[in-house]
């Protein structure tokens, strides 16, 4: 590590105005510079060995700023858009399939896929949609409640 980087990290740590993540990354780099192993750094700072390795690799492959700060992540794209959600809600508010008196999460998932509303969906996603729209098809048949105003 260069003297300039080492000095920068020490000054940064002495100010105390940084996030915990940046603090741990800076401390990891300094401990590695002192000759500690990634395992020793991880144990001392309460981080994973792989995390310590990634910090070290980012510094070696790029620069100090890349090792300390993360670029914003795009996140996971939504698999169900508003139209799909509306169609699922409408389906839940309609009559349950033949042979069933009420909708269940499993039946909703199967029907949403069979009707071509979605390619795939989990029961947890359906549960969240129902929670957002205050739907309880196992309790009441075909009831949609408006929000409280």
Q: Quote the pLDDT of residue 102.
A: 87
Residues 99 and 43 in one domain: no
Residues 84 and 142 in one domain: yes
Residues 90 and 58 in one domain: no
Q: State the pLDDT confidence band at 144, using cuts at 50, 70 and 90.
A: low
d(CA 103, CA 100): 7
pLDDT at 143 over 60: no
Higher pLDDT, 67 or 71: 67
Residue for token pair 């992540």:
73
Residues 98 and 111 sit within 8 Å (Cβ to Cβ): no
Residues 147 and 88 in one domain: yes
d(CA 109, CA 7): 57
Residues 35 and 99 in one domain: no
User: What does the DSSP 8-state code read for residue 97?
Assistant: P
Q: Quote the pLDDT of residue 95.
A: 87
Residues 47 and 83 in one domain: no
Residues 101 and 148 in one domain: yes
Residues 33 and 101 in one domain: no
77-132 pLDDT per residue, tens: 778 889 999 999 999 988 888 998 888 899 999 999 999 999 999 999 999 999 99
Domain hosting residue 135, numbered range = 76-149
d(CA 10, CA 51): 21
Residues 80 and 138 in one domain: yes
Tokens of 40: 């020793």
Q: Cβ neighbours of residue 115 under 8 Å, at least 6 residues apart?
A: 87, 91
d(CA 38, CA 25): 12
| Last residue within a domain, chosen from 36, 68, 100 | 68
Quote the number of domains for the chain.
2
């Amino acid at each position: 590590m260069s003297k300039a980087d080492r000095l920068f990290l020490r000054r940064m740590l002495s100010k105390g105005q940084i996030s915990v993540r940046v603090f741990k990354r800076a401390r990891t780099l300094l401990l590695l510079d002192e000759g500690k192993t990634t395992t020793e750094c991880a144990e001392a700072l309460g981080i994973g060995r792989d995390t310590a390795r990634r910090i070290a690799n980012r510094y070696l492959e790029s620069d100090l700023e890349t090792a300390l700060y993360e670029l914003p992540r795009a996140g996971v794209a939504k698999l169900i858009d508003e139209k799909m959600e509306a169609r699922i809600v409408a389906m839940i508010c309609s009559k349950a399939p033949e042979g069933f008196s009420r909708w269940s999460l499993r039946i909703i998932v199967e029907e949403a896929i069979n009707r071509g509303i979605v390619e795939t969906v989990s029961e947890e996603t359906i549960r969240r949609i129902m929670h957002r729209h205050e739907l309880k098809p196992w309790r009441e048949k075909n009831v949609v409640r408006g929000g409280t105003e």
